[in-house]
Amino acid sequence: MIRSSGFSKLIFFVLYFLSFMLLWEWVRPIDQITNTGFLHFFVMFAGLSLLLYYFGLDWRISGLFKIGFIIAVLQQLYFEAAFLQFGSWIPDFIASIGRSLALTIQQDWNAVSDVYRSLLFFILLWLTTYLIHYWISVRKQLFLFYLFTVIYVALLDTFSPYSAEFSIVRIILIGFLLMGMLTLQRILDQEQLKQSANQYQKWIVPLVVMIAFSSVAAYAAPKSEPIWDDPVPFITGIAGGNGTGTGGVNRLGYGVDDSQLGGSFVGDDTTVFTVVTNAPQYWRIEMKDRYTGKGWESSSAITGEGPGFTIGEEVPLELSVVNEEEEPVTATFDIQLPYNHVVYPYNPLQLEEGDAERFVLDPVNEKITSFNGPERVELDTYEWTFEEPRYSLTALRETTELGEFSETGELDQYLQLPQELPDRVYDLAEEITENEDNWYGKAKAIERYFSQNDFTYDQENIPVPGEGEDYVDQFLFDTKRGYCDNFSTSMTVLLRAVDIPARWVKGYTDGEMIGQVEGGLNEYEVTNNNAHSWVEVFFPSVGWVPFEPTIGYSSNVSLDYDIETNRDTEPVEETEPEEQEDTSTPVPLEDEGPTDETGMEGQGVSATTFWENVRAFITENRMALIFSTLLVAALMTLIYRMRFRWLPRVLILYYSFKKDDDIFVKAYMSLLKQLDRYGLKREENQTLRDYAKKIDAFFGTNEMGKLTAQYERILYRQEKQEPNWRDMRELWENLIKRTTG
């Protein structure tokens, strides 16, 4: 335990508690900026660690307490077996940590297990609490931790959804009080004064009054508008972004956050997977059903749980009516860029291969996730058996209303639109579909609208809607340029505006055929450039049918033309001629937060090219760079090791310009440190007078004795220092120069 008086123990308890409150400010934002849950366990661990340090338990005992707490929490969070059934969960725990360690060595950070991530977080908190204990009990300085806390919260407030409006106020109040108390502790220790309530009252009461008054005044005072509303566009612009009004430059690929669509992108040829099949199609990942005016979200919280199935079992997902007369086909996936979700075709029947114990279909977003035990697992390969979808044109054209589904309300989320959606969007939807009398005709009319009305497919200079602007309204009436997210979102909203249930779907296009394999099957390569979004429309007698509004793309939808036609019948146009102009155009999903990459348009070079040039330079000059680094490191080490030779000259120059009242005291303390570096160390219980005699005996002078006598007169008699420094400076310089020999 902290060995001191009862009042001192109370003060240290307050210091540890205030430090814990500061540390808590680091943990608070985590649930908003990551998928980390059960944060109260981590907060409890931080509090337990600081409490154990306060009581001063032996490090072995406190270590056992902490390890036991960590293991108990990890077992409760990630393993179903009871804690005392060690044989049921400990082998899985050790195996999970072992696999994740191997993945860490391979720098495959995304593949490590949740158990391993949580363990690392506990270890990080352990180290942090030890540092806090050291700063409080030994150094009695906590400014560095306080400074980084302010920077951390400010950065999160600027670049993440986390609002630090009240957090920064708490940090200022706690931090100033904590640093004020630690300053008093240092003064008491330096002067070897006994701590008492009276001393603290004289110090703390004015400190608290000052902090409270300044905080209230600052909070109540009128504040000017921010000079810099949002630094993000500026930063992305400096790095080559698109300037004001755009969302920077994103890299193509799959991501999970679609809440803010817009902005430009650059291509990415990274291979995601190859697939062997004779039935190429759009490969599905998930869907979103709630349009916010800025992007897409799920209508309810994604659970991550739902109907499960294993290899060979029927998939609990029916997208459209299956024709049982059709022969099932297969698609074998070879994954190059692993995720823990499974890419799947339309009308999946079952998985034939895949190294996972079970698969879970999320009922909210229809994403399929692979699991081994409680942990998500990334698969290298798997094979789907599926029914190639074919849709009856007669059934599609006969649909004019929801029928029985209008009474159940189960499709209401696919008709949702924000109240703020401008009226002209509704008017446009009515205008486009006014000549059609069935849902299929209306859907095709909206699909064709984009290719017939001067819309342009473009990857650059795509704006992000500002405050009060609607993403679809901006695209339909202002810019008329964009990529798949713009086209697919706009078609979905227009369909809903005329009461046709529709939803927004994400996945990949069919890719590029790269050859044939044994059995006459074709092999397709799918890259991040094939990441795509499209539209699904619900027809009561058919199911969900995909539509492709993006200019330059075709969804390969197969129709049964089971209707009688004549010359007066309107031809069925699956793809307008002009839509075929560029079937290989890369299309983005605008949610790649973790893979954002900025271009450098102002300098005429993309970020990808820039980093490729950097890598090429490093590769070509590897040996020279290694040699230069070693040389600089050796030189810096030599300079540091020889500092006792050159530092006195720097100190002499420094103090020759100083005019402070306490200049002699500072110079004397610098002399003590230099003598210590020179090798003349002062013993722990040695007085300054005895130490001065030792120094004078070593150098054969009386200079240290005179300097020490003057220092003691200043320290204990409160004599003025400035005249004494002028008198003592020559002695001080002579002595400190002797340490350079």
Q: Please give the average per-residue pLDDT across 418-427, as a whole number.
A: 92
Q: What is the CA radius of gyration of the chain?
A: 35
What are the phi and psi torsion angles at 350 (to 5°)? Answer: -165, 160
Q: Where in the chain is the domain with CATH 3.10.620.30?
A: 391-509+530-594
Please enumerate in sequence order all residues whose Cβ is within 8 A of that of 629, keeping only pairs 6 or more positions apart, or say none: none
* CA distance linking residue 398 with residue 383, whole number of Å: 36
DSSP state of 138: I
User: What are the angstrom distances between the C-alpha of 409 and each of 95, 366, 413, 414?
Assistant: 47, 19, 9, 10
pLDDT at 603 over 80: no
Burial class (CB in 10 A: 0-12, 13-18, 19+), 60: exposed
pLDDT at 620 over 60: yes
The residue among 242, 231, 159 whose CA lies nearest residue 599 is: 242
Tokens 């990274």 belong to which residue?
Answer: 270
* CA distance linking residue 674 with residue 648, whole number of Å: 7
CATH class of 391-509+530-594: alpha beta
pLDDT tens-digit series, residues 570-588? 444 444 434 333 434 444 4
Distinct helix (H) and strand (E) counts, the chain: 23, 23
Q: Is there a contact between 127 and 26 (Cβ–Cβ < 8 Å)?
A: no
Evaluate if pTM is beyond 0.75: no
Q: Is there a contact between 11 and 200 (Cβ–Cβ < 8 Å)?
A: yes
Q: What percent of the chain has pLDDT over 70?
A: 83
pLDDT tens-digit series, residues 288-314? 989 999 999 887 654 556 678 888 888
Q: Give the β-pairing of 481-482 and 456-457.
A: parallel
Max Cα distance, the chain (Å): 121
Q: Please give the average per-residue pLDDT across 231-259, as a whole number.
A: 53
pLDDT at 274 over 90: yes
Please enumerate in sequence order all residues whose Cβ is within 8 A of that of 451, keeping only pairs 6 or more positions apart, or say none: 551, 576, 578, 579
pLDDT tens-digit series, residues 114-166? 888 889 999 999 999 999 999 888 888 888 899 999 999 888 887 777 788 88
More confident residue, 352 or 567: 352
SS (H, E, C) 192-212: CCCCCHHHHHHHHHHHHHHHH
Please enumerate in sequence order all residues whose Cβ is within 8 A of that of 323, keeping only pairs 6 or more positions apart, or say none: 387, 390
Q: Please give the average per-residue pLDDT across 22-46, as a whole number.
A: 84
Q: Given pLDDT bands bounded at 50, 70 and 90, which one contains residue 444?
A: very high
Q: Given pLDDT bands bounded at 50, 70 and 90, which one contains residue 592?
A: very low
pLDDT at 426 over 90: yes
